[in-house]
Amino acid sequence: GGVRSMKTMKRSRVITASRPRSLALLGYTFLPGPSGDPSDWVLRQLQDPTQGFAWNGQAHYDSLGAATVDWVRAALCGLCGLEELEVGQATAYATPGLEQHTGPLALLVCGASPGGDAGVWGRSLCINASTAQGAMFSYVQKARSMGWAVVVAAPHD
């Protein structure tokens, strides 16, 4: 039994402060969304938490998109309880104890970059709507609540 074909090396599960700070350097943070759902987080301006994203040029948007992806990746560990793993030269996020799991497995793979990434269906949705629409959190939480193991691939690493 279990998933044994994936040879992995565990990375640190600590969410480094530099990832969320990159959002802060751009003037933003993610706050719990109005729905109260644990997968619902909304991007808000630090100076006025009632305000969401404001256009400030393409370079700023690209930086904010990268910081958003970093925040979601960190939240896969901190919010969803997954472990960051090295798989060859790539990264994946998986349920702790994956190699011993003998039940169903949910494999979540995003679309094309730059919009999709590990844990992200669409970064523009995370930026302009919420993580309930743009991130994979609810899928991870649902699968885990049903006893499934989860692997979130990062195919663009």
Distance, CA of 54 to CA of 44 (rounded, Å): 10
Q: How confident is the model at residue 19 (pLDDT cuts 50, 70, 90)?
A: very low
Looking at residue 157, what is its pLDDT?
72
State the average pLDDT over residues 10-28.
60
The phi-psi region of residue 109 (left if phi > 0; otherwise alpha if psi is between -120 and 50; otherwise beta) is beta
- Give domain limits for the chain: 16-154
State the average pLDDT over residues 49-66.
94
Tokens read off for 99? 């190699």
Q: What is the DSSP letter of 40?
A: -
pLDDT tens for residues 74-127? 999 999 999 999 888 889 999 999 999 999 999 999 987 777 889 999 999 999
Q: How confident is the model at residue 8 (pLDDT cuts 50, 70, 90)?
A: very low
Can you spell out the DSSP letters for 45-112? ESS-TT-------HHHHHHHHHHHHHHHHHHHHHTT--EEEEETTEEEEE-TTGGG--S-EEEE---S
Distance, CA of 95 to CA of 1 (rounded, Å): 16
State the average pLDDT over residues 42-55.
97
Nearest CA among 68, 62, 87, 64 for reference residue 157 = 87
Q: What is the pTM of this model?
A: 0.84
